């Protein structure tokens, strides 16, 4: 597996997104753990999660707990950087709410530490801006966690360029990652990607294949990805991830998966080299 950097640590150039294993439509625990183990066996050393990745109101942190169990039962689980997030909540009725208050973020981090069973979280990211709380106050809580050694690296998610610059300033230049939505169907995060490239900050596209319900339709929805996939004898999903990797060395896609075969297919994209004319066609698609 090829590697890229998030701050001071090297990780696999493609990570695993844990969300599909814990929300609506999730598989049973056995299949989820098999999926995580398959990812590690294939070279994954980055797994993305969040305390909000759960289905019911009484199971906050379901995905963190699942990942901790899977890592503990794999002989290379200790080599994986777990990136988790705080500041988003799921009341249990299918909706998503926000709490970016410093108090909540610090309490959420403590709870994540406990569920993950670690003394310090490898990468902690502020999940989504809360319009009721000044952004610098939310990021300031993450800075405090970093200074206290509760987290080893700090990131943000769902941020615009101004928020990226502000977060890096509040963190004293220690912002290591930005996790934004980016896919063939959702390209409005191009400015954030370019800024991360300029600043040397890892850019982690979430839902890079279009989301849980649409990932399988990527080829039919975006014909150039299907044509180039057929030419190379690979899946449109592999072409999509290879296209993203070619955009900048700071890009580390985190495709979600809930089946071993799905994550294995995604990870093969790390070895797929697309020609310049193919990349240009995909950019214009």
Tokens 């900050």 belong to: 201
Q: Is 251 exposed, middle or buried (0-12, 13-18, 19+ CB in 10 A)?
A: buried
Structural tokens at position 27: 């598989």
Whether 185 contacts 214, CB under 8 Å: yes
Non-local (6+) Cβ contacts of 199 within 8 A are 164, 168, 175
- E strands, the chain, are 3-6, 9-12, 16-17, 46-48, 81-86, 88-89, 97-98, 123-126, 154-157, 175-181, 202-206
Which member of 52, 53, 100, 238 is catalytic? Answer: 53
124 is catalytic: no
Q: Residues 72, 73, 77, CA angle at the centre, nearest 5°?
A: 55
Q: Which residues are catalytic?
A: 53
């Amino acid at each position: 597996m090829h590697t890229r950097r998030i701050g001071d640590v090297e990780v696999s150039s493609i990570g695993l997104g844990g969300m599909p294993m814990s929300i609506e439509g999730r598989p049973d625990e056995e299949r989820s753990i098999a999926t995580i183990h398959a990812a590690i066996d294939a070279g994954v050393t980055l797994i993305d999660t969040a305390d909000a990745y759960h289905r019911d109101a009484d199971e906050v942190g379901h995905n963190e707990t699942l990942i901790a169990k899977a890592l503990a039962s794999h002989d290379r689980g200790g080599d994986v950087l777990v990136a988790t997030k705080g500041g988003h909540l799921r009341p249990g009725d299918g909706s998503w709410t926000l709490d970016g208050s410093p108090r909540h973020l610090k309490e959420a981090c403590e709870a994540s530490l406990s569920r993950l069973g670690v003394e310090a979280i490898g990468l902690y990211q502020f999940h989504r801006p809360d319009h009721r709380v000044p952004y610098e106050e939310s990021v300031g809580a993450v800075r405090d966690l970093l200074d206290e050694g509760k987290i080893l690296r700090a990131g943000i998610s769902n941020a615009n360029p101004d928020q990226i610059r502000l977060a890096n300033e509040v963190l004293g230049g220690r912002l290591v990652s930005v996790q934004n939505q980016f896919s063939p169907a959702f390209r409005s995060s191009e400015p954030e990607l370019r800024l991360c490239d300029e600043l040397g900050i890892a850019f982690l596209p979430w839902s890079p294949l279009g989301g849980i319900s649409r990932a399988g339709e990527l080829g039919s929805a975006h014909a150039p990805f299907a044509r180039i996939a057929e030419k190379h004898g690979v899946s449109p999903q592999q072409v999509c991830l290879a296209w993203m990797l070619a955009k900048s060395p700071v890009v580390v896609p985190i495709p979600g998966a809930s089946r071993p075969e799905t994550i294995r297919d995604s990870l093969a994209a790390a070895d797929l080299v697309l020609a310049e004319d193919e990349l240009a066609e995909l950019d214009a698609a």
